[in-house]
Amino acid sequence: MRRISWNFSLKLFICTALLTLTSILFISIYSYNKYSDSIMEQSSQKVQQIVELTSLNIRTYLDDLYRLSLSPYYDQDVMDALDKTIDDSDLKSLYRTRTIEDFLEQILIIPRKDILRVFILTDEIYKGERITSTIKSNQDFTKYHWYKKAMEKKQPIFVSAHLEQIIKDPGNIIFSIVSILRSTRNTDKILGVIKVDANYSGISDICNKVDFGKDGGIIIVDANQQVIFSNVPHLTSDDIDDVYTKTYNGKKPYTTINCNNKGYLINKNVIEYADWTVIGVTSLSTINEKISDVRNSAFIVALISFILALLLISFYLYMFLSPLNKIINNIHKIQEGDLDVAFPIKSNDELGYLSSSLNNMVGELKNMFKENHKLVREIYEAKYLQKEAQINTLFNQIQPHFIHNTLNMISMLIQSDNLPQAVNTINKLSIILRGLTHMDKEITISVELQLLDAYLTIQKNRFNDRLNYEINVDDKLNNYIIPALLLQPVVENSVIHGCEAKKETTTIEIADTITDSNVIFIIKDNGVGMGEQALIKLREKLNTEKEIGESFDLSAKGNGIALINVNRRIKIKYGIEYGIEVESKEGIGTTVKIILPKTSL
């Protein structure tokens, strides 16, 4: 017996290792997820701050344009010219035009190349511009939507992206600041409208200073979902529309989307004055690079922790199981019969208590074995004598019927002057009688087959052509031993239920099957067989044997008594795992398997 601690320690090691691994994985995965969420939250907050700062810069830029639209109020000459306080002669009209347009040209001196033109619209159109252009003739600018909207509002209005309208051959997409000019003397008097046109180069300069990494950038969309600016690579206009829709409908200032099999972090901020939505786009791959570094580090730490945990578990198991192994070794010695063992008590824990209890048990076993040794020997001898008596009783049941029939047959042969057959029968009977002297012993299978052949020869002489038999047993079994006359009662049963029960020829076949540890004899006949109910009852009798050593009622009568007796004899000799198996069909025949251990000389 090997140390069972190998199995126990392996199970304990595996369970502890799995528990440790599960704990480490749970902590690592939980920490990784929390850190990933934290990184995502921090990245979103950082991007949101940048987006809000960019929006603030754009709002400041728009405020500059707004202040520019208020600049006429700081030049009284211009306001007087607009208020027509000067006489309306041709000379004065020319002076008024020169004053206003000089003012407008002066505005454009500032280093803001994004401001393309500034118009003051009264009864006439005054303009200052960087690139010379021609004003459309006979146009009614009061019908333009931005003019109507400006007249309705008291504050300057913002006009989103549109084509230039006042000049001929417009080619630029612009946005504008439009404001009403009121008289400084009478605020209810409207002098006209000032319109500042600018392109998006200023917006681009602000947005291009923002770095959101590879595949990231800024998108600006107006209230009409028209893209004003975008420097995000790989995003089509449809993609931008999708981004805007998901961003607009989102409750949070940020969200994540997937476009073209790429993930993006989206942040937004609305410039309410212009009704623009500034969208910050950051590729998730940039954020995931940081998360991947953390994941790899967490995996390495988890692996190192697991290895250290395994080493600690192994050391602990060794320290814990070492005294347990000593106890198991001593128990193994006790199982082998060595009671001169002592269990060392080295601690006051459960193992110490177990060792003390085992020492007490060993002492009690020694005393018990000494006191009961004599009684055990007496019981053993009594059981042995009882088994011998049972076997002798079984043999005594086998002999009388067969010898009686044989002697009657010899008498009839002599009376009919068939002396040769009578002599042959007497010789075969003498072989059987000599075999009966070995009833309480074991004989080789070759001798058993000689006795069986002698028995079948006598029966064939008795029944003549009504009995045929074949013995096909492997010669390899000749030197194996079995109890004497074990097969004869089974063959006799086939003769009784074959030749004696029907007039047709009965054939009996004796064969064998060899396994690694068993010898199986197969005795088959084509006698009358048994019905299903009779077979069930016989099997019940064979399978409900009393324990070996108990007394049997050998006087019982009924079908299958020979098979039951042989089955009992085998079980008494070898144990309950050996014995007889029966298969039978009424009108077809019976097959009996005798299962024995393989025992050689």
pLDDT single digits (tens) 169-207: 676 778 888 989 888 888 888 888 998 888 888 888 888
- pLDDT band, residue 554 (cuts 50/70/90): very low
pLDDT at residue 79 tops 50 = yes
- How many angstroms separate the CA atoms of 545 and 580, rounded? 12
pLDDT at 556: 39
**Per-residue pLDDT tens for 341-378?**
776 666 666 667 677 777 777 777 777 767 766 675 66
Q: Are 236 and 219 in contact (CB under 8 A)?
A: no
Packed helices 419-436 and 445-463: angle between N→C axes, nearest 10 degrees: 150
Nearest to 500 by CA among 463, 465, 454: 463
What is the average pLDDT value for the chain, to the nearest integer? 79
Q: Report percent pLDDT > 90 for the chain.
A: 11
Nearest residue to 278 via CA among 45, 46, 41, 58 = 58
Q: Which of 2-6, 211-215, 257-261 has the lowest mean pLDDT?
A: 2-6
Q: Taking the C-alpha atoms of 104, 105, 108 and 113 in order, what is their torsion angle to the nearest 10 degrees?
A: 120
Whether residue 416 is predicted with pLDDT greater than 90 in this model: the reply is no
Whether pLDDT at 429 is above 70 = yes
Higher pLDDT, 434 or 380: 434
Residue 240 confidence class, pLDDT cut points 50, 70, 90: confident
Per-residue model confidence (pLDDT) at position 584: 92
What pLDDT, on a 0 to 100 scale, did the predictor assign at position 492? 86
Which positions ≥6 away from 229 have C-beta within 8 Å?
200, 203, 204, 207, 218, 219, 220
Contact between residue 512 and residue 477 where contact means Cβ atoms under 8 Å apart:
yes
| CB contact at 8 A, 481 and 519 | no
Q: How many CB atoms lie within 10 A of CB 91?
A: 9
pLDDT of residue 166: 81
Average pLDDT (159-174) is 77
Split at pLDDT 50, 70, 90, the class of 470 is very high
With a cut of 80, say whether residue 60 has pLDDT above it.
yes
Compute φ and ψ for 511, nearest 5 degrees: -135, -175
Whole-angstrom Cα distance, residue 487 to residue 570?
A: 11
Q: Which residues contact 578 (CB under 8 A, 6 or more apart)?
A: 518, 570, 571, 595, 596, 597
Report the range of poorest mean pLDDT among 4-8, 57-61, 484-488: 4-8
Per DSSP, 298 falls in state H
Q: What is the per-residue pLDDT for 158?
A: 84
Q: How far apart are CA 39 and CA 58, in angstroms?
A: 28
The better pLDDT of the pair 86, 102 is held by 102
Q: Which CATH number fits domain 1-338: 3.40.50.1950, 1.10.10.10, 3.30.450.20, 3.30.1490.100?
A: 3.30.450.20
| Confidence band for 251, pLDDT divided at 50, 70 and 90 | low
Confidence of residue 557 (pLDDT cuts 50, 70, 90): very low
pLDDT tens column, 296-319: 777 788 788 888 888 887 787 777
Average pLDDT of span 503-529: 91
Position 67 pLDDT exceeds 90? no
pLDDT for 324 beyond 80: no
Q: What is the mean pLDDT of residues 391-402?
A: 58
In this structure, the chain runs to a length of: 601
**Residue 552 binned pLDDT confidence (cut-offs 50, 70, 90):** very low
- CATH superfamily to which 380-597 belongs: Histidine kinase-like ATPase, C-terminal domain (3.30.565.10)
Mean pLDDT along residues 528-545:
87
Give the per-residue pLDDT at 228: 79
Classified as helix, coil or strand, 336 is coil
CA distance 572 to 587: 33
The single residue listed with the structure tokens 């010219």 is: 81
Distance from the Cα of residue 507 to its chain's centroid: 62
Cβ atoms of 485 and 435 closer than 8 Å: yes
- Kindly list the domain boundaries of the chain, sorted by start residue: 1-338, 380-597
